[in-house]
Structure 1
Amino acid sequence: MLRSVSILLLTALAFQAQAKVDASQAARLEQDLTPLGGERAGNAAGTIPAWSGGLSTPPAGYQPGMHHPDPYVGDKPLYRVDGQNLAQYEQQLPVGLKALLQQNPSFYLRVFPTRRSAAAPQRIYDATRFNALNAELISGGNGVQGAAAGVPFPIAQNGQEAIWNHVMRYRGDQISMATNQAAVLANGSYNLLKLERDIYFVYGREGIAPQDLDNTLFHYKYKVVAPAKLAGSALVVQETLDQVLAIRKAWRFNRGERRVRRLPMLAYDTLQPDTNGMATADQVDAYNGAPDRYEWQLLGKREMLVPYNSYAVHQQGIPYADILQARHINPELLRYELHRVWVVEADLRTGFSHPYAKRRFYLDEDSWQILAVDLYDRSGALIGLQEAHPISYYDVPMFGSTLETIYDLKGGRYFADGLDNNEKMYDFNARLSPRDFTPQALRREGN
């Protein structure tokens, strides 16, 4: 028995030790790698340029509060991918995106020159260098220690480290925003749900140290403001870092009952409300929460056609009806580019249930943002595609999605979230504090 315990302890220690890299490896973040772990150099074909710092200053004419003007508005598409020439490009496409093109003759990709625009503040780069030397996976990979503010594992050694890089990437210190979401049925019909959302990030804050985190990643709150029949309902979430150690806490205010209730579970395969059954809790932000229900594999890096620099669909004043078409987003408003992405595969562990028995994630090498996800059921059939359409919020700077979609490839319907074209732009300087994310604050929100 003692020998078995010793073997388990040594295995755990070996598992944790592989997370850290030595000083010579960490030094690569200032040499051949970008500060967040991507390759600085372009590709041999010249179709992916070298990273030169990303887009960290606003273009001429930008004023705070504007929907971010497209800094690449003069770019012309290099080529178009559709059902007719799909075979020529299929090796560069996520499997789900290939299926979407095959099923919908009206959908196509406009492929533009590659612009490596992802950037973050210098303090995030400095913190990432610290994390490379100190961060460790704990609890069997279900938590992280020794990291704060920056990407925890810029030189990722396995799939768990890579997915934690997405979950813990920098997204600003706080955000206040109004966005719309819609479940678009196969016939093109939908109802918009407008939410006012606040996020207070703990992990990425300026001056944060590992010992200050108290197992907290961020605080999140939303309030439904339209349609009128749903207005007033609200939700608050206190997101833990290690969710196996302590699950996220969530409370919901129901307008009809006029009371706050603690939600017993808002994670994993719990369905998100008002998504017509198309979105599970762990699909928010492409993936969130504990990784313990999946086995994770890092399959390497590939050059893929993925959503990037999606400023066209972000612009102010576009009617939502012009974006939300039957069966897919309007392709004339989308931009795809060739980028190197990390491919991570997640297989559901025995004994757990989830609509997605397998997921294949494509993570941007320059930001660790998940850009696309192939979704498979228990029989191994491809059933869905998830995409994040990102921009560089150069006023922060921060790279993140402006629109997220989940396609039901069997039903011909999809869910879209993040529609903000006719709302005020995100406020990255909102005055928020942890006190705004309590059950008491939620009760005030609902009144």
Structure 2
Amino acid sequence: MRNIIIIGNGISGVTTARHIRKHSEDHITIISAETEHFFSRTALMYIYMGHMKYESTKPYEDFFWKKNRIELVYDFVEKIDFKSKSLQLRKSESLSYDVLVLAVGSKSNKFGWPGQDLEAVQGLYSYQDLEGMERYSPTTQNAVIVGGGLIGIEMGEMFHTRGIDVTFVVRESSFWNNVLPPEESEMINRHIRKHGFKLMLSTEIDEILDDGSGRAKGVQLKEGGELDAQFVGLTVGVSPNIDFLKNSELETGKGIKVNEYFETNQPDVYAIGDCAEFEKAPADDRRPIEQVWYTGRMHGETLAQTICGTKTAYQPGVWFNSAKFLDIEYQTYGQVSNQPDDETEEHFYWEHEKGEKSIRLVFSKSDNTLKGVNLMGVRYRHEVCDKMMRDKWPMKKVFQNLKEANFDPEFFKKYENELVGMYNERYPNEQVKVGRKKVLGIF
């Protein structure tokens, strides 16, 4: 019987433990310094907003772990000795492993701003971050959120439910334009302002100001001027939480270097989830570091197969992500660049006249097949978009069957006919009939 230790009780680590237990009798230990039990990290905002209690965010009852013979250790790993295969813990005795899984997640980015370590200056990633927001909210009238991304949107929405004024300070010229194409990014600019947030674009902070007691009182802008803020949210992305591993024998870059089997350069040591950095991206539409909930789950499922004797390479399939910009749902599939390339791509972009819904289809000019989909305020079926890209559907076939992708509730207005009309305008010799039924047997 092997002693398997997993550091980190997020979706990656817990999924690994669960799937190992399905196939082996090995001794499994999960170590975490964040919480005693696994919880849904995506629910942090709903706890703050009063929609859920922390207990309701735990997918498994507390007895689940003992019943499945998975030992939980609530402690912090200070050092790993890879030669002796042992871990040094802060509160407990050291532990030895036969197999070690590093699922240590991410931490909020900081960029050396003076005052970034003051009280009431933080990101939104961990349960401790949620506790910090709760602690400082009663004495916060104004919050400044630095950065233009999904975490910043969540933090802003959370503060708004408490009547706290929020100002976004975004270095870029448009919100999240390092990911979104210009039209979608501009839509989000409008939407943020419509909901009563202040949005300062092409603006950077120079310093976070101290109120004299060690707490933030505002920010100094590089362009001049100050903003009052009793809370400063740092939401300029996250990075692998590997500082405690930097001076060890473990090979690291931005994250922990792994191959397609999640193997590191140390024997019997694996890394998965937010902290893993693939030496070679697992697919053309994938990045070396994947920091999304569902990919973390896939990492855990795949690694468990290898640990249990069936060596399995990670094959993630078509990229997918979803989120919300306040009340606009966002979905993306495959490859959609923030800067469309007219030489290699054909874009069909439709936007509703009210400016809060859009559909973008991206086709590769080299083979005329669907390359990516961006949706704002419209929902498509995952299995349909996945099949269209996996099976390399040509443009005409996509438009012939586009209605089958729509997953909005019954009685919602559908807009696919308008995209078909755009296609027919561009390709008058390749007409697609509006309202055509799906091709039988493809779904």
The structure with the largest helix share of the pair is 2
TM-score, shorter chain, exceeding 0.5: no
Q: TM-score under structure 2 normalisation?
A: 0.23
Q: Which structure has the bigger radius of gyration? A: 2
Q: Which of structures 1 and 2 has the larger relative contact order (alpha carbons within 8 angstroms, sep 6+)?
A: 1
The structure with the largest strand share of the pair is 1
